[in-house]
Amino acid sequence: MMRQRAFGDSSGAAARPGAQQYRPRIRGRSVATVKRRCARLCVRAGRDISDANFPRTADGCTYHLGTKRGQVSNRILTVGSVSRAEMLSKLLQPLAPGMTQPLSVLSSRGFLTATGLYNGVPVSIVSHLMGIANMDFMVRECRAVTDGTMAVVRLGTCGALQPPAKLGDLLVASAGAIFVRRDPDAWTLNDGTPPYATSLPVLPDAELSAALAAEGARQLGPQHVVEGLNATADSFYSSQGRVGGDFDDRNSTLASDLCKLHPNLLSMEMETFQMLDLARCSNGSIRAASMCIALAERYSNRFLEHNKLLAIEMAAGRIALTTLSQLRLEDSASFSKKLLEISAATPRLSTNGNGNGMLASAFWDGPPPER
């Protein structure tokens, strides 16, 4: 099987017969190598950051995502893993006729931003890594470098807590998300304080969430899309009710207790609540919705096969990108112009600002997954 290339592979590396796994490479270098180089450049040039309240480089790159105004669209598909961001960025077209690939920035902290066209509309795919703190970086730093209303769709993976959610389904958090937090005071006081605290739900943007579910049903069939409540946890293990002998987690009834409390609870993951909460607090400037692939069926203890996951990720990526590209949104008039100016003036592989991010030409050396 021939190696598939995307975004102008300049490495000249030979095709590897039978390669099945996606291996993200950036101009022939592994992601780890590029990250190490970025980190070295940051150490050399990090002195240029002056604002302690909202750190940015002299040329406007944010501290953790490493992007600046003109590199990020106000339509954002955000995903947890860098490899999912890389894979889905194959669905984007270059921003302008002179470009051979989407604009791509990998920050020294490992956040990847790829900006290109989907159905002729500028869209960014941004990895948010794992947990609410990283989602916080993603939302705030993208907001800081975009103009107009920002629309964000998270495409993640999750555990399915109860039927009708089943393995491989797309679980849309149309009823919003609650937050489940381990409360260390329960262990400190040991006086019956509940070991896990839960918040009230925060809602998504109703139009965006409904459009996502409708597009999912249209492309995959309604039997594969389930709408309900999501729970965002501060741990993959304890506060998702995973039990093990190494820690005193006091969580053996947590998942079933949550389902009793919230009969419409479908999914558990680690970021949606933070995204929806920030959108709620954005003074109306951010619209957000979330859809997660049921990767683990918690009630039957089954886990989705890797190849099936890749295929569903691609399908769900198309659904999310279609939804974002069709959303009626106040697009900044200056966005496309700025993007074109910057991309025309930028070499394909160079440091971004003070080295906080690196513009990258990325490609996969494996075949695309089955669709």
Which residues lie near ligand URA (CB under 6 A)? 157-159, 236, 240, 268-270, 295-296
User: Which tokens belong to 76?
Assistant: 């954002």
* Closest residue by beta carbon to ligand URA: 159
Instruction: Name the segment binding ligand R1P (CB under 6 A); options: 4-12, 24-32, 50-58, 268-276.
Output: 268-276
Q: Are strands 196-198 and 177-182 parallel, antiparallel or unpaired?
A: antiparallel
Query: Taking the complex as a whole, how short is the minimal distance between the CB of residue 236 and ligand R1P, in angstroms?
Result: 5
Distance (Å, whole) CA 57 – CA 49 = 5
Which residues, numbered 271-330, are part of the site for ligand R1P (CB under 6 A)? 271
* Residue 130's binding partner out of ligand R1P, ligand URA, none, with CB under 5 to 8 Å set by partner kind: ligand R1P
Cα-Cα end-to-end distance for the chain: 17
Q: Residue 32: how many CB atoms within 10 A of its CB?
A: 10
Query: Taking the complex as a whole, how short is the minimal distance between the CB of residue 125 and ligand R1P, in angstroms?
Result: 12
Query: Taking the complex as a whole, how short is the minimal distance between the CB of residue 13 and ligand R1P, in angstroms?
Result: 29
By CB under 6 A, residue 132 contacts ligand R1P = no
Q: Which single residue is written with the structure tokens 């920035």? A: 105
> Toward ligand R1P, which CB reaches closer, 129 or 175?
129
Kindly report the CA angle at 299 between 293 and 301, in degrees rounded to 5? 80
Radius of gyration of the chain (CA): 21
Distances in whole angstroms, Cα of residue 8 to Cα of each of 12, 28, 348, 365: 10, 11, 10, 12
- Say what the alpha-carbon torsion angle 138, 298, 197, 231 is, to the nearest 10 degrees: 40
By CB under 6 A, residue 236 contacts ligand R1P = yes
Query: Taking the complex as a whole, how short is the minimal distance between the CB of residue 303 and ligand R1P, in angstroms?
Result: 11
What is the x/- site pattern for ligand R1P, positions 140-169, by CB under 6 A? ----------------xx------------
* Residue 240's binding partner out of ligand R1P, ligand URA, none, with CB under 5 to 8 Å set by partner kind: ligand URA
Kind and range of the H or E element at 187? helix 185-189
Residue 362: which of 109, 32, 104 has the closest Cα?
104
Q: Which single residue is written with the structure tokens 């954005």? A: 282
Query: Taking the complex as a whole, how short is the minimal distance between the CB of residue 50 and ligand R1P, in angstroms?
Result: 32
**Tally of CA atoms within 13 A in the half-sphere of 332 that contains its CB:** 23
Query: Taking the complex as a whole, how short is the minimal distance between the CB of residue 274 and ligand URA, in angstroms?
Result: 13
Which residues, numbered 29-48, are part of the site for ligand R1P (CB under 6 A)? none
By CB under 6 A, residue 130 contacts ligand R1P = yes
Residues forming contacts to ligand R1P in the complex (CB under 6 A) are 79-81, 130, 156-157, 236, 269-271
